[in-house]
Amino acid sequence: MTKKKKSRILVFILSLLCYLGLTSFTDIQELIAGIIVSLIVSLIAGRFLLQNDKFVKHFLRIFKAIKYLFLFLWEMAKANIHVAYLVLHPDLPIKPGIVKIKSNLKNDSSITALANSITLTPGTLTIDVNDENHDLYIHCIDVKSENVLINTNTIGGKFEKLLAEVFE
Amino acid sequence: MIDKIGMFFICTGILFDFFGVLGLVRLPDVYNRLQAATKCVTFGSAGILFGVFLIQGFNSFGFKAILGIAFLFLTSPVSAHAIARSAHKSGVPMADVTVVDQYKDDLELKGD
Amino acid sequence: MKVVRWLIGLMCIGAFLYGNFLVFQGNLLIKLMNIILFCSLFVLFRVIFGPTAADRIIAVDILGVLIIGLLALTSLFYEQGFFMDIGLIWALMSFVAALAFSKILEGRTLDD
């Protein structure tokens, strides 16, 4: 079975589940309509979901993905309390700036996940990604140091190990 | 009981919405405003949707709320990233308190 | 000057809280929805008086995320599921709009 076929079957199952969840699944007519609609969707746009084969083989890494999700939610709650403190302070104690960090991730999807989780965690916002040597430019609301290696450890270090285990 | 937990989540979400909007008004330049607004308002709206899911339970209504949370977490960092990048490229100035700008330095190196 | 701005802001927030929780008699969900509408007034301030175009784009994007929370509360109040559908479609449209605006701001056309 080729990669495209696997991807199409996965898209078919996911979109059928979404359809049945969005409509209240009590009727046989809705089931038939859902099967027809998800067949059309998987024929048109089904080949883009799976980029590499490994994700299907190692199914155990879904537990690591759940662990990553909980770490991410905890960091995000801390981020919101930090921003609320900064906004409510009368003097606005901010020291903004744009710094550069390096990352070892090679995959496109893992770099996207790293950039998105950096954006949603305390005081940092991804501005640009260099395609060739995988540098990330990050806007910090409170710059601690201007060294590249120290910033790599403090900003991206927490997520990078778990993301390398999940995606690569 | 589950209704009270849901109302607690809804009230927390509205509180964080208010903080994010306050940051949008108070902070000095585009990038800082983007930080406060994106983080706090996304978290607040996700909190409201999660409270609605807890009150409604697992019917089609609650499933739509869960789908909305996943959608917010996927799209809001992407649009923040796009807006910040295009603002920097179109030359929107940074505030006076800015300490360092390594992105601009690297772009100038590449240009030479 | 700074003190005057602080006083005006605190007076606005205090007057709103007094009117919403002490004078207005109504359901709790309606009071919570009023808070979100008050927050969107702050966002409209940024839309009107924003110094650059990027500020206005951020404000419109944030307004979309706020309205998703408002529609979730509305659907909880009327117990109608279709408001959630409107919220999901609104999130999609505002995401695409933010991407298109940022592309125009960067100086490219929508074709490439």
Domain regions of chain C by residue span: 27-105
Look at B81 and A119 and tell me if their CB atoms are within 8 Å.
yes
Token pair 């079957």 is found at A9
Q: Where are the domains of chain A?
A: 3-50, 57-167
Instruction: Using an 8 Å CB-CB cutoff, list residues of chain A that contact chain B.
Output: 18, 21-24, 76-77, 79-80, 83-84, 86-88, 92, 94-100, 115-116, 119-120, 123-128, 137, 139, 141, 143, 146
Q: Where are the domains of chain B?
A: 2-111
Look at B14 and C88 and tell me if their CB atoms are within 8 Å.
no
Lowest mean pLDDT among A7-21, A51-65, A92-106, A110-124: A51-65
Greater confidence (A151 vs B112) lies with A151
B35, B59, B73: residue with CB nearest A24: B59
Look at B81 and A127 and tell me if their CB atoms are within 8 Å.
yes
Mean pLDDT, rounded, of chain A? 78
pLDDT score recorded for residue A101: 81
φ/ψ (deg, to 5) at A58 = -90, 90
Continuous segment of H or E residues that includes residue C42: helix C28-49
Residues of B in contact with C105 (CB under 8 A): 83, 86-87, 90
Is residue A44 predicted with pLDDT exceeding 70? Answer: yes
CA atoms of A138 and A110, how far apart (whole Å): 17
Lowest mean pLDDT among A27-41, A111-125, A142-156: A142-156
Q: How confident is the model at residue C26 (pLDDT cuts 50, 70, 90)?
A: confident
pLDDT score recorded for residue A52: 62
> Maximum CA pair distance of chain B?
65
> A interface mutation test: which of B14, B25, B35, B66 has the most A CBs within 10 A?
B35
CA atoms of A163 and B7, how far apart (whole Å): 34
CA atoms of C6 and B106, how far apart (whole Å): 40
Beta bridge partners of A101: A136
Burial class (CB in 10 A: 0-12, 13-18, 19+), C27: exposed
**Dihedral, CA of residue A146, residue A147, residue A149 and residue A155, to nearest 10:** -10
Is residue B31 predicted with pLDDT exceeding 60? Answer: yes
User: Position C85: which residue type?
Assistant: D
CA atoms of C65 and C71, how far apart (whole Å): 10
> B interface mutation test: which of A119, A121, A136 has the most B CBs within 10 A?
A119
C46, C54, C95: residue with CB nearest B92: C54
Distance from A1 to chain B by nearest Cα, in Å? 30
Mean pLDDT, rounded, of chain B? 83
Contact between A33 and A10 (Cβ < 8 Å): no
Q: How confident is the model at residue C20 (pLDDT cuts 50, 70, 90)?
A: confident
Residues of B in contact with A94 (CB under 8 A): 27-28, 32, 97
pLDDT score recorded for residue A55: 55
